[in-house]
């Protein structure tokens, strides 16, 4: 261990700008007799300071300094052990990185398979341009800021008592906690205050898979326990809120607040999958899934200050609210499908799917309030695929989508509920063309016409096209490209909504020799959206315009130096660049340089240098740039 | 009946609407690929096979020698590297399990009988799934894998429809799964490029993987997402606090999903929003120019929402529980 530290410290002095070798070179198994193989990468990262907005840096990059266990992959394998024939543990990002994960699996093909997956994610978001009504006063704090952590753990155990019946159990735990800034809303004013976040979801599941020659059946039963104890608070402070003027001569303010949510939820769910092959020309499949989540909520609010009730126009100093609420949401999803092959070259794919969700809730207030949301959705699709030639496959089909939804109406619209329907017909077209082993083209298109849609922003009459092509010039050079196109326009008589997006990408992978590899990709995407809306304060039609014209370039040049020598260091240069113009112009650069070199028989030096830079033309105060270095060793 | 009338009318619509565009596309791309096709040497035709794949391409002119199974040990003599990796592969189960019908013939379970190939040492005499069409290659895999959970929903999945073979993503000889993001990125590089934007999920850092959210084998839900805890979209796997049910739901969260407001792969806008400012996102639904007869959901905000005042330019300042509220109808707390 002392040696590791020594190497890391010496390397810091040698290379002032490098980092870890992310794409770990294929691990050469150690001596065949050794049951343990793999590698560990460990080192030190340092940051030469963030120039610009630190909060934006933390919202986007958030990499810190210090010792890091960058990644590891260890495999233990022995044919002689009955209980543990094979085990593997992999992970990355431990020691304080915003994303870290660990996967452990152990198995013996005859008895069991155990999988454990654990991840932690740090979520930091604090942008002064977002949710900041005080920006014009020169106050650079967001009133929707969060500094929180997510921890997700999944465990699954499959047992193999027989080759045909496979019982399994699983457990998932999702925990979120942290703090932030949010608003406490009172009539005529809102006050930025602190919030604490804390929620836990525990999911238990168990099931059995039956795997027979002509059919497969899976039945699973599960349950969820959910707890959310978030709170919002302010203690002994005079908070004037966002309102800049007195309200009817009174200055509204908040001095104390405790707003506590106690949410307790549970859900049971059942699901069943069936696939069957009753004949060589027929595959059948079906699934049904049912869940019934339910939440019970106790809400307490105590606030002191100077407030106003807009309905009665009365001012008051203290308020205490206790509410009880409950919501239940039965939800069933089912689908059935068939693949029919009446002839050698013809495949007919038929499927039906439905999704039905009904939410019913009550709020014990004065007067009591109940609410309901109904959503029924169905989809039927038929598609035929015909092999015109072994290299050319054409297909065409039809999809009919229909549904209806009903929810509460807007408070001032004098309607208790509002509802909408969905009726959409879509034509499906496609081809798969394998010109040769070296070249192929895939394309599929959808042309849809809707009689009714749910929302004004829903796609109504649209055409969608996706194309992908690959061409291998020579064994070491692969060229590929994609094109995606979506165009929507509402028919006359409906609210105007024009939406067009296009993404075109071109990339290549070139391996001119054993020691050199070059990868490059360029993507251009455009979004153009025009939608009319009604400005509420003047009740006049205005237009919401969104434009984005973005270029993304990604590349990596990698070369093993001094080929033929025993000492063969590897150098990689590359990174990515994002440039956009339009409604929110932005540029984001992430160049990177990596270096790795063998030091001893089982130890490599690894180093990496990264530069992060963000700039936004309309929000220059949110820009930053940062230099990050990493140096360490890879033991294998 | 109404559905069939719809279908016929739609067909007429397509024929009238898209013909010019379709012809334009065909004229653009087919000559290009025809040129590429001419430049290629003819690919070897799929070899004739015996074995379980009944619907494969008819055999080439018959080889005089009869094809027979030789056993994996014979394959090892020339392909030792692959043989050694296969020994650590789950497919090696075939080698030891007589019930599956390929005991000591793991290689030939997929590649077919190898007797002719061992004599001629010609690639034309052995089945290589990578050289077969997607449908034919899948038949080889589905000989054993047809009845599995992953097949549910395949008929609705884009990969099956686009003739993406199992071998396109799965390395049959591999000892451990390849990095999923890299595999997906070879075809979906436009989506991969979105992860280079400033506000995104942490894909490069390993925080998430494509298959955490998507089900590559097919989909049960209407959108191309995985389903978690029965029939919920995969977003709730990590964002459990948004799962609900809420006493007062925000309608599009339940019907059109998170992507009605967010760009989950990556965005140039904070919070991965689809618009540069949240107010436009909200107003596009909540300001019906034809509210009475539009037949869509989303009403007009009250007139005190003076958008010229900065307080009203950030909707989530007040509507803090925009994903759904347990206690407030206007999603204020």
Of B13, B269, B285, the CB nearest to A457: B285
Lowest mean pLDDT among A332-341, A508-517, B26-35: B26-35
Interface contact B229, partner A, CB < 8 A: yes
Q: Is the pLDDT of residue A428 over 50?
A: yes
Distance, in Å, from the CA atom of A195 to the CA atom of B183, rounded to the nearest integer, reads 41
- Rounded percentage of chain B residues whose pLDDT exceeds 70: 77
Lowest mean pLDDT among A597-606, B45-54, B76-85: B45-54
Residue A279's Cβ-side half-sphere holds a number of Cα atoms within 13 Å equal to: 7
Q: With CB atoms and an 8 Å threshold, state whether B54 touches A407.
A: no
Cβ atoms of A599 and A568 closer than 8 Å: no
Q: With CB atoms and an 8 Å threshold, state whether A355 touches B276.
A: no
- What number is the average pLDDT over the span A31-51? 86
Q: Which of A216, A419, A472 to mutate to test the interface with B (most CBs of B within 10 A)?
A: A216
E strand intervals along chain B: 227-228, 232-233, 248-249, 324-325
Output the pLDDT for position A228.
96
Q: What is the chain B residue with the closest CA to A554?
A: B193
DSSP characters over A532-587: EEEETTTTEEEEEEEEEEEEEEEEEEEEE-STTSS---EEEEEEEEEEEEESS-EE
Output the pLDDT for position A595.
94
Rounded to a whole number, what is the largest CA-CA distance in chain B? 89
Contacts of B260 in chain A (CB under 8 A): 455, 457
Total Cβ atoms within 10 A of residue A83: 8
E strand intervals along A365-460: 369-389, 392-408, 417-434, 439-452
- CA–chain centroid gap for A309, Å, is 41
Output the pLDDT for position A288.
94
| A158, two tokens | 């499959």
Of B25, B227, B271, the CB nearest to A289: B227
Match 């379980």 to its residue by tokens: B52
Digit-coded pLDDT (tens) for B242-287: 988 999 999 999 888 899 999 999 999 999 999 999 899 999 888 7
Q: Is the pLDDT of residue B289 over 80?
A: no
Digit-coded pLDDT (tens) for A62-85: 999 999 999 999 988 877 777 788
Interface contact B287, partner A, CB < 8 A: yes
Output the pLDDT for position B194.
93
Scan residues 154-193 of B and list those with Cβ closer than 8 Å to A: 154-156, 158, 160-164, 176, 186-190, 192-193
Contacts of A270 in chain B (CB under 8 A): 230
Higher pLDDT, A54 or A135: A54
Match 């109406």 to its residue by tokens: A409
SS3 annotation, A86-117:
EEEEEEEEECCCCEEEEEEEEEECCCEEEEEE
Digit-coded pLDDT (tens) for A266-281: 999 999 999 999 998 9
Q: What is the mean pLDDT of chain A?
A: 89
Distance, in Å, from the CA atom of A528 to the CA atom of A546, rounded to the nearest integer, reads 6
Output the pLDDT for position B231.
85
Lowest mean pLDDT among B163-172, B198-207, B294-303: B294-303
SS3 annotation, B75-143:
HHCCCHHHHHHHCCCHHHHHHHCHHHCCCCCHHHHHHCCCHHHHHHCCHHHCCCHHHCCHHHHHHHHHH
Q: Is A359 exposed, middle or buried (0-12, 13-18, 19+ CB in 10 A)?
A: buried
- What number is the average pLDDT over the span B22-27? 45
Q: Is the pLDDT of residue B47 over 70?
A: no
Q: How far is B239 from chain A (nearest CA, A)?
A: 8
Rg (CA), chain B: 27
Contacts of B205 in chain A (CB under 8 A): 92-93, 97-99
- What number is the average pLDDT over the span A160-173? 92
Digit-coded pLDDT (tens) for A513-530: 888 999 999 999 999 999
- What number is the average pLDDT over the span A364-373? 87
- What number is the average pLDDT over the span B285-310? 77
Q: Which of B211, B218, B231 to mutate to test the interface with A (most CBs of A within 10 A)?
A: B231
Digit-coded pLDDT (tens) for B104-153: 888 999 999 988 998 888 888 899 888 887 878 888 888 888 878 888 87
- Rounded percentage of chain A residues whose pLDDT exceeds 90: 70
Higher pLDDT, A293 or B289: A293
Cβ atoms of B220 and A335 closer than 8 Å: yes
Q: With CB atoms and an 8 Å threshold, state whether B240 touches A226.
A: yes
Of A134, A351, A550, the CB nearest to B155: A351
Output the pLDDT for position B153.
78
Q: Is the pTM of this model over 0.80?
A: yes
pLDDT category at A125 given cuts 50, 70, 90 is: very high
Q: What is the mean pLDDT of chain B?
A: 78
Q: With CB atoms and an 8 Å threshold, state whether B320 touches A185.
A: yes
Output the pLDDT for position B138.
85
| Nearest C-alpha neighbor of A227 from the set A272, A158, A174, A187 | A174
E strand intervals along B236-283: 248-249
Of B13, B156, B186, the CB nearest to A351: B156
Output the pLDDT for position B13.
42
| B43, two tokens | 């690919």
Question: What are the φ and ψ backbone dihedral angles of B71, each rounded to 5 degrees?
Answer: 100, 150
DSSP characters over A471-501: EEEETTEEEEEEEEEEEEEPPTTSPPEEEEE
Exposure string (b/e) for A182-194, b if CB count within 10 Å is 16 or more?
Answer: bbbbbebbbbbbb
| Nearest C-alpha neighbor of B129 from the set B57, B218, B76 | B57
pLDDT category at A308 given cuts 50, 70, 90 is: very high
Exposure string (b/e) for A509-528, b if CB count within 10 Å is 16 or more?
Answer: bbbeeeeebbbebbbbbebb
Give me the torsion for CA of A341, A344, A346, A347, rounded to 10°. 30
Output the pLDDT for position A107.
87
Output the pLDDT for position A122.
94
Distances (CA, A) of B246 to A294, B77, B254, B328: 9, 65, 11, 10
Lowest mean pLDDT among A215-219, A351-355, B3-7: B3-7
Helix (H, G, I), strand (E, B) or coil at A390: coil
Distances (CA, A) of A613 to A232, A582, B139: 34, 19, 49
- What number is the average pLDDT over the span B25-52? 40
Question: What are the φ and ψ backbone dihedral angles of A32, each rounded to 5 degrees?
Answer: -60, -25
Exposure string (b/e) for B94-122, b if CB count within 10 Å is 16 or more?
Answer: bbeeeeeebeebbbbbbbbbbbbbbeeee
pLDDT category at B64 given cuts 50, 70, 90 is: low
Helix (H, G, I), strand (E, B) or coil at B15: helix
- CA–chain centroid gap for A539, Å, is 37
Output the pLDDT for position B122.
87
pLDDT category at A603 given cuts 50, 70, 90 is: very high
Q: Which contiguous run of DSSP H or E holds residue B211? A: helix B210-213
Distances (CA, A) of A198 to A227, A260, A261: 8, 11, 10
Distance, in Å, from the CA atom of A514 to the CA atom of A22, rounded to the nearest integer, reads 19
Distances (CA, A) of B318 to A183, A192, A504, A621, B315: 7, 10, 39, 25, 6
Digit-coded pLDDT (tens) for A452-510: 998 888 899 999 999 999 999 888 899 999 999 999 998 877 778 899 999 999 999 99
Q: Which of B28, B80, B152 to mutate to test the interface with A (most CBs of A within 10 A)?
A: B152
Q: Is A543 exposed, middle or buried (0-12, 13-18, 19+ CB in 10 A)?
A: exposed
Q: Is the pLDDT of residue B316 over 70?
A: yes
Distance, in Å, from the CA atom of A386 to the CA atom of A431, rounded to the nearest integer, reads 9
Lowest mean pLDDT among A211-215, A230-234, B51-55: B51-55
Distance, in Å, from the CA atom of A46 to the CA atom of A65, rounded to the nearest integer, reads 5
Q: Is the pLDDT of residue A110 over 50?
A: yes
Distance, in Å, from the CA atom of B101 to the CA atom of B104, rounded to the nearest integer, reads 9
- What number is the average pLDDT over the span A176-188? 94
Output the pLDDT for position B180.
73
Of B300, B307, B318, the CB nearest to A183: B318
SS3 annotation, A508-540:
EEEEEECCEEEEEEEEEEEEEEEEEEEECCCCE
DSSP characters over A122-134: EEEE--TTSS-TT
Q: With CB atoms and an 8 Å threshold, state whether A534 touches B329.
A: no
pLDDT category at A412 given cuts 50, 70, 90 is: low
């Amino acid at each position: 261990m002392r040696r590791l530290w020594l190497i890391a410290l010496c390397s810091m002095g040698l290379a002032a700008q490098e980092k870890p070798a992310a794409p770990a070179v294929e691990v050469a198994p150690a001596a065949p007799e050794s049951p343990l193989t793999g590698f560990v990468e460990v080192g030190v990262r340092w940051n030469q300071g963030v120039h610009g907005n630190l909060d934006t840096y933390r919202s986007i990059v958030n990499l810190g300094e210090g010792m890091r266990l960058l990644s590891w992959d260890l495999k233990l394998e022995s044919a002689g052990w009955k209980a543990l024939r094979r085990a593997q543990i992999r992970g990355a990002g431990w020691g304080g990185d915003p994303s870290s994960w660990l996967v452990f699996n152990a198995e013996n093909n005859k008895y069991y398979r155990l999988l454990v997956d654990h991840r932690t994610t740090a979520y930091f978001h604090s942008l002064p341009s977002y949710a900041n009504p005080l920006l014009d006063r020169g106050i650079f704090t967001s009133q929707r800021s969060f500094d929180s952590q997510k921890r997700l753990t999944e465990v699954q155990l499959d047992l193999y008592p027989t080759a045909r019946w496979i019982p399994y159990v699983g457990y998932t735990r999702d925990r979120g906690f942290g703090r932030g800034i949010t608003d406490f809303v009172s009539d005529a004013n809102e006050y930025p205050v602190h919030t604490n976040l804390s929620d836990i979801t525990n999911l238990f599941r168990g099931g059995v898979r039956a795997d027979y020659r002509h059919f497969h059946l899976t039945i699973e039963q599960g349950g969820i326990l959910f707890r959310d104890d978030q709170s919002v608070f302010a203690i002994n402070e005079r908070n004037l809120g966002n309102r800049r003027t007195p309200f009817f001569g009174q200055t509204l303010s908040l001095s104390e607040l405790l707003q506590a949510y106690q949410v307790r939820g549970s859900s049971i769910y059942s699901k069943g999958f069936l696939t069957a092959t009753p004949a060589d020309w027929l595959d059948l499949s079906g699934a049904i899934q049912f869940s019934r989540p339910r939440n019970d909520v106790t809400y307490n609010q105590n606030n002191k200050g100077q407030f106003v009730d807009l309905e009665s126009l009365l001012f008051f100093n203290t308020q205490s609210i206790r509410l009880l609420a409950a919501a239940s949401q039965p939800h069933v999803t089912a689908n059935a499908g068939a693949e029919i092959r009446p002839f050698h070259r013809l495949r007919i794919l038929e499927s039906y799917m439905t999704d039905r969700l009904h939410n019913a809730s009550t709020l014990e207030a004065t007067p009591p309030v109940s609410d309901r949301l109904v959503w029924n959705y169905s989809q039927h699709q038929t598609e035929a695929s015909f092999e015109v030639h072994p290299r050319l496959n054409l297909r065409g089909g039809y999809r009919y989508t229909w549904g209806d939804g009903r929810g509460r109406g807007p408070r001032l619209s004098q309607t208790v509920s509002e509802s909408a329907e969905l009726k959409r017909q879509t034509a499906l077209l496609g081809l798969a063309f394998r010109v040769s082993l070296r070249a192929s083209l895939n394309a599929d298109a959808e042309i849809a016409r809707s009689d009714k849609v749910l929302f004004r922003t829903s796609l109504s009459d649209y055409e969608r096209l996706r194309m992908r092509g690959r061409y291998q010039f020579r064994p070491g050079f692969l060229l590929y490209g994609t094109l995606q196109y979506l165009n929507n326009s509402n028919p006359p008589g409906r609210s105007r909504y024009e939406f067009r997006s296009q993404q075109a990408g071109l990339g290549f992978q070139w391996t001119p020799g054993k020691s050199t590899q070059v990868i490059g990709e360029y993507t251009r995407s455009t979004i153009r959206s025009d939608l009319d809306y009604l400005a509420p304060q003047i009740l006049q039609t205005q237009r919401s315009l969104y434009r984005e014209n973005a270029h993304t370039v990604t590349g990596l040049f990698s070369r093993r130096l001094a080929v033929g020598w025993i000492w063969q260091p590897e150098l990689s240069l590359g990174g990515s660049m994002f440039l956009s113009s339009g409604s929110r112009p932005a540029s984001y650069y992430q160049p990177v340089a990596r270096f790795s070199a063998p030091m001893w028989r089982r130890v490599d030096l690894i180093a990496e240098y990264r530069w992060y830079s963000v700039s936004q033309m309309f929000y220059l105060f949110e820009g930053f740039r940062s230099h990050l270095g990493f140096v360490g060793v890879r033991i294998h | 009946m109404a559905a069939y009338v719809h279908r016929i009318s739609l067909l007429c619509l397509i024929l009238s609407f898209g013909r010019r565009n379709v012809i334009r596309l065909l004229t653009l791309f087919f000559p290009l690929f025809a040129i590429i096709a001419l430049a290629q040497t003819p690919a070897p035709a799929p070899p004739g096979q015996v074995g379980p794949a009944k619907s494969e391409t008819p055999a080439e002119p018959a080889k005089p020698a009869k094809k027979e199974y030789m056993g994996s040990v014979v394959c090892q003599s020339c392909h030792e590297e692959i043989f050694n990796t296969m020994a650590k592969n789950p497919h090696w189960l075939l080698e030891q399990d007589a019930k599956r019908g390929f005991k000591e013939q793991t290689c030939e379970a997929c590649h077919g009988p190898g007797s002719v190939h061992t004599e001629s040492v010609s690639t034309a005499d052995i089945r290589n799934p990578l050289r077969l069409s997607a449908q034919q290659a899948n038949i080889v895999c589905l000989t054993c894998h047809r009845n599995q959970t992953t097949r549910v929903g395949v008929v609705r999945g884009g990969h099956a429809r686009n003739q993406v073979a199992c071998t396109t993503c799965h390395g049959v000889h591999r000892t451990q799964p390849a990095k999923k993001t890299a595999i997906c990125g070879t075809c979906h590089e436009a989506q991969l490029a979105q992860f280079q934007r400033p506000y995104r999920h942490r894909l490069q850092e390993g925080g998430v993987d494509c298959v955490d959210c998507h089900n590559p084998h097919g989909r049960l839900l209407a959108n191309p997402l995985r389903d978690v805890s029965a029939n919920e979209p995969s977003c709730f796997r990590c964002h459990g606090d948004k799962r609900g049910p809420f006493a007062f739901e925000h309608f599009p969260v339940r019907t059109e999903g998170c992507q009605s407001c967010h760009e989950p792969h990556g965005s140039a806008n904070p919070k991965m929003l689809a618009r540069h400012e949240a107010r436009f996102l909200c107003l596009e639904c909540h300001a019906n120019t034809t509210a009475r007869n539009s037949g869509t959901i989303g009403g007009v905000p009250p007139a005190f929402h003076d958008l010229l005042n900065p307080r009203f330019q950030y909707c989530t300042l007040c509507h803090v529980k925009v994903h759904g509220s347990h206690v407030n109808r206007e999603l204020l707390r």
